[in-house]
Amino acid sequence: MAFKAIIDSLDSVEEQFRSLYEEQDGKHFVAKPTGGDAGGSDGKRIADNPWDSSNGKKPNLTRQQQLMTENPAKARQLAQAAGVTPTW
């Protein structure tokens, strides 16, 4: 079974898409952007987990403090991934 959409509007495709996304009924048809250039990301990547002490590495206390200040949720996630129980 196929459906054909008929749009009765002079709006641009971008305007139609925006209105569909902003309507509550249309939100489930539009996926959130993903990838390196997707909105919502500050573009920073965390190469190493500053809580990781495996293989003889020393935890990076400076980076830990920076993360706890800038992004506490991400800091908790990284600490837990390294087996550390966050107490803040």
What distance in Å separates the CA atoms of residue 24 and residue 19, rounded to the nearest whole number? 10
Q: Give the separation between CA 4 and CA 6, rounded to whole angstroms.
A: 7
pTM across the whole model: 0.47
pLDDT of residue 88: 80
Q: Give the C-alpha separation, 67 to 59, whole Å.
A: 13
75 band by pLDDT with thresholds 50, 70 and 90: very high
Per-residue pLDDT band at 50 (split at 50, 70, 90): very high
